[in-house]
Amino acid sequence: MSLPDESGNVELLKATKLALLGEVTGSILHELNQPLTAMSIDAGYLKMLAEKPDELSAETLIQVGADIEDDIHRLQKITQHLRAFAYEREKTLHTHLKMAVENIMSLIGEQFRARAIKWEFEFKEALPSIAIDAIELEYILLNIFLNARKAIDSREKLFPEKPFQKSLVLKAWHSQEHLMVLVKDNGLNLSYTNLEHLWQPFSVVTVAKELQYYNLFLVEQLLEKVGGKCLVHQYFNGDGMGNAIELTLPVWSTVK
């Protein structure tokens, strides 16, 4: 789907990105809270040591200081990453899929852990760099992974009497010119059954009389900029469930 007004399309993409970030606020706060909690514990330990100077040693102070320093670095990494998501910056020419996956799961992994969703990423061979901006690839994955989580939530909500092992699987392989990524989940089939509206911005689906944001508008638009493609498979497992999204991305070496 191509939008005729370029300036309007840019603003629409920005709004879509911000909407996605809004969906992961809880997970991000959790990731920020962990190092803050550790720093609070270390600060309390230092106060306790100050009250017992006979137990104070240089080694202990060095270790506590190193722990606090590590937590600060973790906070800086998260905040710098969020800044790259939210603000204009110099774009990168290429990036690696594995790094993008790891960065996204560091932000939203808590959503999957809290729901007991098992994720599996299969990289059976060394993969080439992809000719796409690093943050834009992460936005693509964020969109697809959040869709998967919503599909799994929807299946659980509609069929509470039928428990299942929730899963998200990513597989990747490549040719000389392209890298292919297949992302599958075993949630309610929301992609193929809503194919007509899937490419529209802010498109929603209705599950159990509740509306939820579910589309691939941002994915398609960001892929289109680099000559990539997105394909929705008619994927159903034995229970008539599941979604499968296949991405085709240009390999960096072929466009240098």
Query: Is the predicted pLDDT of residue 199 greater than 50, yes or no?
Result: yes
Mean pLDDT of 205-224: 90
Least trusted range by pLDDT, from 127-131, 204-208, 252-256:
252-256
Of the two residues 244 and 2, the one the predictor is more confident about is: 244
Query: What span, in angstroms and rounded, lies between the C-alpha atoms of 137 and 9?
Result: 18
In this predicted structure, what is the pLDDT of residue 131?
96
The runs of H, that is alpha helices, within the chain are: 6-23, 25-51, 58-86, 97-114, 134-158, 217-225
Query: Is the predicted pLDDT of residue 220 greater than 90, yes or no?
Result: yes
In this predicted structure, what is the pLDDT of residue 6?
63
Instruction: Report yes or no: 243 and 235 within 8 Å, Cβ to Cβ.
Output: yes
Mean pLDDT of 115-123: 92
* Closest C-alpha to 239, from 205, 195, 194, 189: 189
Specify the DSSP class assigned to residue 91: P
Instruction: Report yes or no: 163 and 126 within 8 Å, Cβ to Cβ.
Output: no
Mean pLDDT of 34-60: 85
In this predicted structure, what is the pLDDT of residue 30?
75
At 143, the amino acid letter reads N
Query: Is the predicted pLDDT of residue 125 greater than 80, yes or no?
Result: no
At 199, the amino acid letter reads W
Mean pLDDT of 35-56: 85
Please give the C-alpha separations between residue 181 and each of 4, 57, 191, 220, in angstroms, as whole numbers.
Answer: 29, 53, 16, 14
Least trusted range by pLDDT, from 198-202, 209-213, 216-220:
209-213
Q: Would you list the domain boundaries of the chain?
A: 6-23+93-254, 28-86
6-23+93-254 CATH, one of 2.40.50.420, 3.30.565.10, 3.40.366.10, 3.30.365.10 = 3.30.565.10
Q: Tokens at residue 256, please?
A: 């240098």
Q: Give per-residue pLDDT as tens, 1-27.
A: 444 456 667 888 888 888 888 888 877
Contacts of 163 (CB under 8 A, 6+ apart): none
Query: What span, in angstroms and rounded, lies between the C-alpha atoms of 104 and 137?
Result: 10
In this predicted structure, what is the pLDDT of residue 173?
94
Query: What span, in angstroms and rounded, lies between the C-alpha atoms of 181 and 245?
Result: 8
Query: What span, in angstroms and rounded, lies between the C-alpha atoms of 46 and 66?
Result: 13
Query: What span, in angstroms and rounded, lies between the C-alpha atoms of 220 and 228?
Result: 8
Of the two residues 92 and 118, the one the predictor is more confident about is: 118
Of the two residues 126 and 246, the one the predictor is more confident about is: 246
Rounded to the nearest integer, the mean pLDDT of the chain is 88
Query: Is the predicted pLDDT of residue 38 greater than 60, yes or no?
Result: yes
pLDDT band at 228; cut points 50, 70, 90: very high
Of the two residues 186 and 47, the one the predictor is more confident about is: 186
Percent of the chain clearing pLDDT 90 (strictly above):
46
Least trusted range by pLDDT, from 103-107, 149-153, 186-190, 245-249:
103-107
